[in-house]
A and B are shown apart, each in its own frame.
Chain A
């Protein structure tokens, strides 16, 4: 039983973490909200000290009506959706494969998860140059070997190329989580189904997939949160050109390149709302798990 003393001690011990996170969340958030309602162009002399002009919802309206807004939303959706689809489908197949008895399972596992530990700037630059360079990249060598014309990946297929790079980074994560989930599958149930003569696809559809449902949902939610804020991979490859400007990157450009803080902040608020919609679903699942 927790005594009254230990309870107040507990509250005291939680204080630093709670206070720090509260500050980290509220201070920048309030500033962003404030800026989003003002005209704030530091290069034209606007500054907090001199006072910012209140412009109401003008920035919000302008951000929405700008010609780059909808394309950026579309790019974001295609990128997140594409990476999710690739990592989930390949992840499930790979997890099932890795769950089978084989020689050198430990080594294969290490090979498969390695990309997750490569820092984003490295994986983006290695793919951009060593693999996707239209003249000297491995893909160009391979294409020429088969008599095909090498592709200028990051120009002509820029969005798909970035999806490929990001999928390579996140496939290990999906695989690892799905593998962990598969390993907790009751193998006797599968054997019983096998002995009853249920074909492979049926066994997968009726036993494996339902068992993985929760893990799949978690992979989707967590990856979505990380993928919505993909930055370095675009920053060092295309710099947002050739139709790879996501919402995150658009906001980044508004704030850093054009130094339009008001407009960028309004965009930031949209991004925060978008991320929170995803977050609510994730929290529900994690929260349920806390009760169990």
Chain B
């Protein structure tokens, strides 16, 4: 039996939900809107919502001032590299824990999760020392490794919960048909695992893209990604709202779009499979 809902009630809920949704979204909307204004219009009182001269000059200024493309490229390399590296390390581990579980599997999984709880600030200095020692400070390679290690527990966990859902009977059937281990992995498991792997990649790319402790503390001019690029706007300098907005819009748009595809995986990934 489906619940009967009066039209009136549906209209009230719709209005309420849309109002709240728009309020929550407002700061993002306002940033995007302001990025197309001139600096004077950006601080106009009353605030301008529609009637202003749309301009792209802020985007040009931001690019000119600090070479946005370089930071974007750093973000892509660091987030993408750490995710791919993490996936490569995690797939075999998660595969073996899901399909050849032992008594200790659960302990290993929980221990991996526990490494995620280590407060970053507690180990900031040792990591910086190691970075200096190996000439990794302000390099993309160093950050790729650090972010990979930070997100590895989440990657393993997500993959594990996805792999767990692949029914074991299918593997047995394949084995009975005489499939070798290699064939089993290539033709049976991989096609079934691809959606899970794809969601894991997506969520971890987003997490790495937005990471703002190590990226701020371990980079300077060369390897700084967009998080650091934006932080450079933290000291005010005359009129800069429109430029700040343009820079922010460029930094968040790619991830907002990706994020919308990852709603479902977000819950599973960030609760370590405890809520699905």
Q: Which of A12-20, A52-60, A77-85, A203-211 contacts B (4 or more CB under 8 A)?
A: A12-20
Q: CB-defined interface of A207-240 with B at 8 Å, one 1/0 digit per residue? A: 0000000110010001001001101100111000
Pick from B20, B28, B252: contact of A94, CB under 8 Å: B20
Smallest beta-carbon distance B75→chain A, Å: 9
Q: Are A130 and B245 in contact (CB under 8 A)?
A: yes
Q: Are B108 and A14 in contact (CB under 8 A)?
A: yes
For the complex, what is the distance from the CA of A19 to the CA of B43, rounded to whole Å?
54
Contacts of B152 in A (CB 8 A): 17, 20-21
Q: Are A129 and B117 in contact (CB under 8 A)?
A: no
Within 8 A of A (CB), among B215-262: 216-217, 226-228, 230-231, 233-234, 236, 240-241, 244-245, 248, 251-252, 255-256, 258-260
Within 8 A of B (CB), among A64-98: 94, 97-98
Contacts of A268 in B (CB 8 A): 119, 121-124
Smallest beta-carbon distance B141→chain A, Å: 15
| Contact of A127 with B27 at beta-carbon distance under 8 Å, contacts A16-B89, A17-B112, A119-B226 already known | yes
For the complex, what is the distance from the CA of A285 to the CA of B273, rounded to whole Å?
11
Q: Kindly report which residue of chain A lies nearest to residue B18, judged by CB atoms.
A: A108
Contacts of A264 in B (CB 8 A): 125
Q: Are B274 and A231 in contact (CB under 8 A)?
A: no
The size of the chain B interface, using a CB distance under 8 A, is: 99
Q: Which of A101, A107, A130 has the most CB of B within 10 A?
A: A130
Q: Are A122 and B252 in contact (CB under 8 A)?
A: yes
B5 in the interface (beta carbon within 8 A):
yes
B120 in the interface (beta carbon within 8 A):
yes
**Majority SS of interface residues in chain A?**
helix
For the complex, what is the distance from the CA of A215 to the CA of B248, rounded to whole Å?
33
B263 in the interface (beta carbon within 8 A):
yes
For the complex, what is the distance from the CA of A187 to the CA of B230, rounded to whole Å?
46
Q: Are A126 and B216 in contact (CB under 8 A)?
A: no
Contacts of A275 in B (CB 8 A): 117-119
The size of the chain A interface, using a CB distance under 8 A, is: 109
For the complex, what is the distance from the CA of A172 to the CA of B259, rounded to whole Å?
12
For the complex, what is the distance from the CA of A136 to the CA of B43, rounded to whole Å?
5
| Contact of A272 with B119 at beta-carbon distance under 8 Å, contacts A103-B14, A119-B210, A127-B27 already known | yes
| Contact of A25 with B119 at beta-carbon distance under 8 Å, contacts A119-B210, A177-B267 already known | no
A61 in the interface (beta carbon within 8 A):
no
Q: Kindly report which residue of chain B lies nearest to residue A140, judged by CB atoms.
A: B45
Contacts of B115 in A (CB 8 A): 21, 24-25
B114 in the interface (beta carbon within 8 A):
yes
Q: Are B27 and A131 in contact (CB under 8 A)?
A: yes
Q: Are A14 and B96 in contact (CB under 8 A)?
A: yes
Residues of B within 8 A of A (CB): 1, 3, 5, 9-10, 13-14, 16-18, 20-22, 24-25, 27-28, 30-31, 34, 42-43, 45-47, 89-90, 92-93, 95-97, 99-100, 102, 106, 108-110, 112-127, 129-130, 149, 152-153, 156, 181, 206, 209-210, 212-213, 216-217, 226-228, 230-231, 233-234, 236, 240-241, 244-245, 248, 251-252, 255-256, 258-260, 263, 266-267, 270-276
**Pairs of residues from A and B, 8 with the lowest C-beta to C-beta distance, nearest first:** A268-B122, A10-B96, A117-B259, A13-B92, A28-B123, A31-B126, A111-B21, A232-B212
